[in-house]
Amino acid sequence: MLPLQLLFITMKQFNVPIIYRSPLIVAIKNKRKQADKMKKDFTPTLLDLGPVQIYLARHFGFCYGVENAIDIAFRTIEENPGKRIFLLSEMIHNPQVNGDLQQRGVQFLQDTYGKQLVPFESLTKDDVVIIPAFGTTLDIEKKLNAIGIPTEKYNTTCPFVEKVWNRSEQIAKKEYTVIVHGKPTHEETRATFSHAAINTPTIVVNDMQDAVRLSKYITGEKNAADFYEDFKGRFSEGFDTTKHLQRIGVVNQTTMLASDTQGIADFFKKVMITKFNLTNDTIEERFADTRDTLCYATNDNQTAVYGLLETPADVAIVVGGYNSSNTSHLVELCEEILPTYFINSEEKMISPDEILHYNFHTKQEITTTNFLPAKNPVKILLTSGASCPDALVEGVIARLAAFFKVAPVMETLLETMA
């Protein structure tokens, strides 16, 4: 029997604008779902176009939280004609969706890093403010509520983000310090930090390097006074390493790489076992078993990429917003195995010989020539992030079909998948 939360998610349907939909992708996903209802088959779907073979990941594209956010946002616009409508920051990390909302008159109050674009002082109680899927901090909620704007009315916070907040609160009640594995400047991490820090001492670690550095304050290898510079801007007020690292639990930004979060949690568990001479029976005295707080879509998409990478191929293409955390981790997995191109639309594939793609390590778009090898057939792995519309994925498939002059074959795919 499905857990109540998953049963609810399975049943709920969202009204997502048709411009984000793809008949081809819907047909592919429905066919795979019917054949694999328990989601145990992570092999890709082969789209054989002759000279180009496209292997599509088992899971990709819009997740529950994104569809929920888009549904609420577009419904909010329809229900409030004539009113000023603001988004606290980007709805999701996808330029097409955010651009569509802006074209409909929605304004952003902040950029993705929290920089103020529209002063809160200019808002009135008659304005509408939509909370994005990442959630927001308690401080911002307080400011908006003080103006008379009800933050709960148009709140699109993903339920899986709220699940992390609830887990943090649970372990806080047992007097554990919360360690958040997340990107310190990401909206979701800032929100999760805020919700945890109101209840218990909290600190953010970005990666295993941070975790190792923090562990040295647990073991006493580093001077406690150095902590405040080492983790500047990432710990809650009044954090004391001599007191607040005695009992810990790890939660995460829901879109982090699952293996990284698990590795960090396992590392801290070992540190506590060694430091306090714990056994399996006494580990809970010092380390909270938070299990995995990644969202289901992040897990599914990452597992699907592992399945995708078992197929020998020439290149991988990952589609999504350049500031999308979950998408960048899919790129990270792919580029360990084969040449990988991170694009946010099919238009970035300029020609069969040239592609404009994003290097998320250097935060720059770069041009690569001869990105498609001169062979027959060319084998391409394809996936997208949880905030990427299926229509963009179909656009990439169509562009590749045009490059190889097999558009007529592309037109028969929908019939094949039906």
CA distance 55 to 45: 5
Q: Residue 289: what pLDDT?
A: 84
Q: Residue 214 in contact with residue 257, Cβ under 8 Å?
A: no
pLDDT in tens, 92-127: 889 999 999 999 999 999 998 889 999 999 999 999
Q: Residue 7: what pLDDT?
A: 43
Which residues in the chain come in under a pLDDT of 70? 1-11, 292, 294, 418
Q: Residue 292: what pLDDT?
A: 63
pTM to 2 decimal places: 0.91
CA distance 143 to 123: 10
User: Using alpha carbons only, what angle is made at residue 219 by residues 213 and 225, rounded to the nearest 5 degrees?
Assistant: 65
The residues pairing with 55 across neighbouring beta strands, listed in sequence order, are 46, 381
User: 181 in the Ramachandran plot: left (φ > 0), alpha (ψ -120 to 50) or beta?
Assistant: beta
User: In three state form, how does the secondary structure of 369-412 look?
Assistant: ECCCCCCCCEEEEEEECCCCCHHHHHHHHHHHHHHCCCHHHHHH
Q: Residue 158: what pLDDT?
A: 93
Q: Residue 140 in contact with residue 89, Cβ under 8 Å?
A: no
CA distance 162 to 156: 11
Q: Residue 141 in contact with residue 152, Cβ under 8 Å?
A: no
Q: Residue 48: what pLDDT?
A: 94
CA distance 81 to 281: 60
Q: Residue 313 in contact with residue 381, Cβ under 8 Å?
A: yes
Report residue 306 as tokens: 């592992």
Structural domains of the chain ordered from first start: 4-63+296-417 (3.40.1010.20), 64-147 (3.40.50.11270), 159-288 (3.40.1010.20)
| Cα distances (Å, whole numbers) of residue 356 to 133, 342, 343, 349, 362 | 29, 9, 7, 6, 14
Q: Residue 1: what pLDDT?
A: 35
Q: Residue 376 in contact with residue 352, Cβ under 8 Å?
A: no
In terms of Cβ atoms closer than 10 Å to its own Cβ (0-12, 13-18, 19+), residue 110 is: buried
Catalytically active residues are 188
In terms of Cβ atoms closer than 10 Å to its own Cβ (0-12, 13-18, 19+), residue 53 is: middle
